[in-house]
Amino acid sequence: YDYISFLNNDKAIVNNGEFYGIINRNNEVIVPIEYENITEVVGNYFIVYTANDGCILYSLKGIKKASYDFISSAFADDIFIVMKSDKYGYINGEGNVIIPIIYDYVSSFSDGFASVLPANSDTPVIINTKGEIVIEEAKYAFCFTDTIKSLGIVMTHDAQFLGLDKKVKSLSVDLRSKL
């Protein structure tokens, strides 16, 4: 091969100089080397970038699931970030829209939460994997970490610090005194 990616869940992207495919840990081809450009392997899916059609989501069996201007892993089970006509949203592995494609910006999920920027707004909000807003007017959101028991910290538009907990979804506690 001219290119072999690092193994990710026992799968690696390979290139023969012209086309891309996917092999397993035993160097067995599990996705034929016939795709224009495989950009990601995510669980049982892979994403192909094409010059003419944008990004296409396929199952590892080669079944086309969705096509958008942009597709990427959202780092949550069976959820992908998509872009269509300069708006972002989320789909599942079957290609069904699960959170509307209406946002000017979206982030990947961390412990079930993501930051999104609603259209015509300059203030992001925090949503869960169902698309429900759990914190409005978030100015900054920081990554979740196990050292704080999966607690995320969000600074709201009015400079209030809030805790965001995976189990209770959100805490309206001002954390300034605890930092």
Q: What one-character-per-residue DSSP string does the chain give?
A: --EEPPPBTTEEEEE-SS-EEEEETTS-EEEEEEES-EEEEETTEEEEEETTTEEEEEETTS-EEEEESEEEEEEETTEEEEEETTEEEEEETTS-EEEEEEEEEE---BTTEEEEEETT-SS-EEEETT--EEESSEEEE----GGGTSEEEEEETTS-EEEEETTTS-EEEE-GGG-
Task: Find all residues with CB under 8 Å of 66, minimum gap 6, and list them.
Answer: 56, 57, 80, 82, 91, 95
Give the dihedral sign, CA 35/40/42/48: negative
Sheet holding 29-35, edge to edge: 3-4, 11-15, 20-24, 29-35
Residue type, 53: D
* Residue 121: band (very low, low, confident or very high) from pLDDT cuts 50, 70, 90: confident
* Residue 49: band (very low, low, confident or very high) from pLDDT cuts 50, 70, 90: very high
User: pLDDT of 20-34, one tens digit each?
Assistant: 999 999 999 999 999
pLDDT at 152 over 90: no
* The pLDDT of residue 178: 41
Average pLDDT, integer, range 87-105: 97
* The pLDDT of residue 154: 58
* The pLDDT of residue 170: 46
- Residue indicated by tokens 């538009």: 157
